[in-house]
Amino acid sequence: MTSQITIAGIEIKPGENKKIQLPVANLYTDTDMCIPVHIMRAKKPGPTLFVSAAVHGDELNGIEIIRRVMNKPGLKLTRGTLIAVPMVNVYGVLNQSRYLPDRRDLNRCFPGSPKGSLAARLAHTFLTEIVAYCDYGIDLHTGAIHRSNLPQIRANLKDPETLELAKAFGVPVLLNANLRDGSLRQAAVENDTRILLYEAGQALRFDEFSIRAGVKGVMNILSSLGMVRKRRQRKTSVEPFVANRSDWVRGNASGLVHEYAQLGAMVEAGDVLASIHSPMGDKLSEVTASRSGIVIGKQNIPLVQEGDAMFHIAYFGEDAVDVAENIEQLQEDLAIPPHDET
Ligand SMILES: [Zn+2]
């Protein structure tokens, strides 16, 4: 996008590798707050990609994904620039909270402004100091507290180049996601930055499968953009599928949950996903799938209030069996060998 990159007033030249603290609004405790940023530039020009995590401060998997990518032995950019931002919402990370201290959701506050609230200032700083330089971005998220997501990419798949990138990431489930007002994705699109949103695992936890799939995904994108040397293709590679649609199956009673459907499972119309029981042990109801699809998100807490979202099912039509097979393939590929210290 541009050959000159200056972040927090510090110029990063081609061939340089720098870690910078990007200042944002101070706290009323007179504490300076900074966003840690790691920039790697190859000598050769090429695309600029940012990888960000913890836009929601309690979503930690992405922080670990970035740590593993940036410290990968032998990681060498052959062209372009990689900007890693492991904690965008530093305030939220400190409070182990999705939100900012003013209870705002950063991902609804873009593009922000330099004179606005804390959230608006943070959004503005991130946009003008980081996103403005980038042709592409990968924003790493997880499910909310007590909710897990199967590794999946959400993006504007109607844009052919974004679709190609989404496929290159290497997870089986792709969801077309409409832009939300105030989201980082919307602001990035206006800057001509193509964005993938990676959703995997749950808030406040590390999930090894989600982390491994994320690290592999970021490396696949670097390779497909020609920013690292092309890796040898494995014999088996995971095939991506675009879901036609997805929706949540909700609790039809209030009580304790016995679940039967696991993340990544293929379910048929009428399959019992969970049963709901009273504290005295009576079975109150069964929660069933209304169409056949794949479980891509679920609640983990065994307590439900009638109407709560329990299972997120994605619909793939006739491809569902192939999607389930590819999910198994990915789980096998990324299985943790015994005594592996990662
Ligand atoms: Zn999130």
- What would the two tokens of residue 10 be? 């510090």
Gap from CA of 142 to ligand 1 centroid (Å): 6
Mean pLDDT, residues 18-34: 92
Gap from CA of 264 to ligand 1 centroid (Å): 20
The predicted-structure confidence for 213-236, as pLDDT tens digits, reads as follows 999 999 999 999 999 998 666 656
CA-nearest of 236, 219, 231, 232 to 169 is 219
Gap from CA of 43 to ligand 1 centroid (Å): 34
Gap from CA of 58 to ligand 1 centroid (Å): 8
Gap from CA of 102 to ligand 1 centroid (Å): 17
CA 285 to chain centre: 34
State the sign of the Cα–Cα–Cα–Cα dihedral 116, 95, 63, 155.
negative
Gap from CA of 285 to ligand 1 centroid (Å): 31
| Cα 89 from Cα 95, distance rounded (Å) | 10
pLDDT number for residue 230: 81
High-pLDDT (> 90) share of the chain, %: 89
Residue ranges of the domains in the chain? 5-224, 245-333
Gap from CA of 187 to ligand 1 centroid (Å): 16
The predicted-structure confidence for 167-218, as pLDDT tens digits, reads as follows 999 999 999 998 888 999 999 999 999 999 999 999 999 999 999 999 999 9
Buried b (16+ CB within 10 A) or exposed e, 65-80: bbbbbbeeeeeebebb
Gap from CA of 60 to ligand 1 centroid (Å): 10
pLDDT number for residue 84: 98
CA 137 to chain centre: 11
Gap from CA of 3 to ligand 1 centroid (Å): 31
Mean pLDDT, residues 290-299: 96
pLDDT number for residue 338: 65
| Contacts for 160 with CB less than 8 Å, ≥ 6 apart | none
Gap from CA of 74 to ligand 1 centroid (Å): 30
Task: Determine the angle formed by the axes of helices 208-224 and 61-70, rounding to 10 degrees.
Answer: 50
pLDDT number for residue 102: 87
CA-nearest of 263, 262, 254 to 307 is 254
Gap from CA of 141 to ligand 1 centroid (Å): 4
Q: Which runs of E-coded beta strand occur in the chain?
A: 5-7, 10-12, 17-24, 33-41, 48-53, 81-85, 136-141, 147-155, 173-176, 194-201, 241-242, 245-250, 255-259, 266-267, 272-277, 283-288, 293-299, 303-304, 309-315
Residues recorded for the chain: 342
Looking at the predicted structure, is the pLDDT value of residue 16 above 90? yes
Gap from CA of 94 to ligand 1 centroid (Å): 16
CA-nearest of 292, 179, 174, 296 to 241 is 174
Gap from CA of 271 to ligand 1 centroid (Å): 30
Q: Which string of DSSP letters, residue by residue, matches 195-214? A: EEEEEEE-TTS--HHHHHHH
Q: What one-character DSSP code corresponds to residue 26?
A: P
The predicted-structure confidence for 60-98, as pLDDT tens digits, reads as follows 999 999 999 999 998 999 999 999 999 999 999 999 999
What Cα–Cα distance (Å) separates residue 269 from each residue in 288, 289, 315, 320? 8, 5, 11, 12
Banded pLDDT at 2 (limits 50, 70, 90): low
β-bridge partners, 139: 52, 197
Banded pLDDT at 27 (limits 50, 70, 90): confident
| Cα 177 from Cα 181, distance rounded (Å) | 12
Looking at the predicted structure, is the pLDDT value of residue 341 above 90? no
Gap from CA of 119 to ligand 1 centroid (Å): 15
The predicted-structure confidence for 96-146, as pLDDT tens digits, reads as follows 999 998 899 999 999 999 999 999 999 999 999 999 999 999 999 999 999
Gap from CA of 124 to ligand 1 centroid (Å): 18
Pairing of strands 266-267, 293-299: antiparallel
pLDDT number for residue 339: 62
Looking at the predicted structure, is the pLDDT value of residue 340 above 70? no
Gap from CA of 182 to ligand 1 centroid (Å): 14
State the sign of the Cα–Cα–Cα–Cα dihedral 174, 179, 181, 183.
positive
Element (H, E) at 224: helix 208-224
What Cα–Cα distance (Å) separates residue 213 from each residue in 5, 17, 63, 208, 210? 30, 25, 14, 8, 5
Mean pLDDT, residues 226-248: 85
Gap from CA of 117 to ligand 1 centroid (Å): 20
Gap from CA of 260 to ligand 1 centroid (Å): 26
Q: Largest alpha-carbon pair distance within the chain? A: 68
State the CATH class of domain 5-224: alpha beta
Gap from CA of 59 to ligand 1 centroid (Å): 6
Gap from CA of 37 to ligand 1 centroid (Å): 19
Residue the block writes with tokens 């504290």: 279
Gap from CA of 338 to ligand 1 centroid (Å): 31
Gap from CA of 140 to ligand 1 centroid (Å): 8
Q: Check if 5-224 and 245-333 are the same fold.
A: no
| Cα 197 from Cα 62, distance rounded (Å) | 11
The predicted-structure confidence for 149-158, as pLDDT tens digits, reads as follows 999 999 999 9
Gap from CA of 143 to ligand 1 centroid (Å): 7
The predicted-structure confidence for 325-337, as pLDDT tens digits, reads as follows 999 999 999 987 7
pLDDT number for residue 264: 96
Gap from CA of 88 to ligand 1 centroid (Å): 11
Looking at the predicted structure, is the pLDDT value of residue 316 above 60? yes
The domain made up of 245-333 is a member of CATH 3.40.50.150: no
